[in-house]
């Protein structure tokens, strides 16, 4: 079985996950210098249903946690659901201000 390769492509504002030579999943983001908005998680249709998007979000969040200088805004519904399923990782989330 091919290894999974995680990559950060800052020039394209995305994280990627590949299996061997095949790109399997992409996580797009916007970074304003304080917050990284995770805007879209996408898995190539032939690779769906194998947990690749979850693995990609996990690795991207781990990298952001290690970096320690950005909060995360889960704009994408999939990323928001991932944080709901992984509440122990919620410390990195951008705090919401009450009106």
pLDDT tens-digit profile of 22-67? 999 999 999 999 999 999 999 999 999 999 999 999 999 999 999 9
pLDDT band at 95 (very low <50, low <70, confident <90, very high): confident
Q: Which CATH number fits domain 4-89: 3.40.50.1980, 3.30.70.20, 3.40.630.30, 3.40.50.360?
A: 3.40.630.30
pLDDT at 96 over 90: no
At residue 2, the pLDDT reads: 66
Cα dihedral 30, 15, 22, 19 in deg (nearest 10): -150
CA separation, residue 77 to residues 3, 68, 82, 88 (Å): 27, 23, 9, 18
pTM of the model: 0.92
At residue 62, the pLDDT reads: 98
pLDDT band at 89 (very low <50, low <70, confident <90, very high): very high
Average pLDDT, the chain: 94
Distance of CA 58 to the CA centre of its chain: 6
């Amino acid at each position: 079985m091919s290894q999974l390769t995680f990559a950060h492509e800052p020039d394209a504002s995305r994280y990627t996950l590949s299996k061997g030579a095949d790109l399997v999943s992409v996580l797009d983001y916007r970074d304003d210098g304080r917050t990284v908005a995770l805007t879209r998680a996408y898995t190539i249709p032939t690779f769906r249903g194998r947990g690749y998007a979850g693995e990609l979000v996990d690795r991207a969040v781990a990298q952001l946690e290690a970096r320690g200088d950005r909060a995360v805004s889960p704009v994408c519904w999939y990323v928001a659901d991932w944080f709901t399923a992984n509440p122990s990782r919620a410390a990195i989330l951008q705090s919401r201000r009450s009106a």
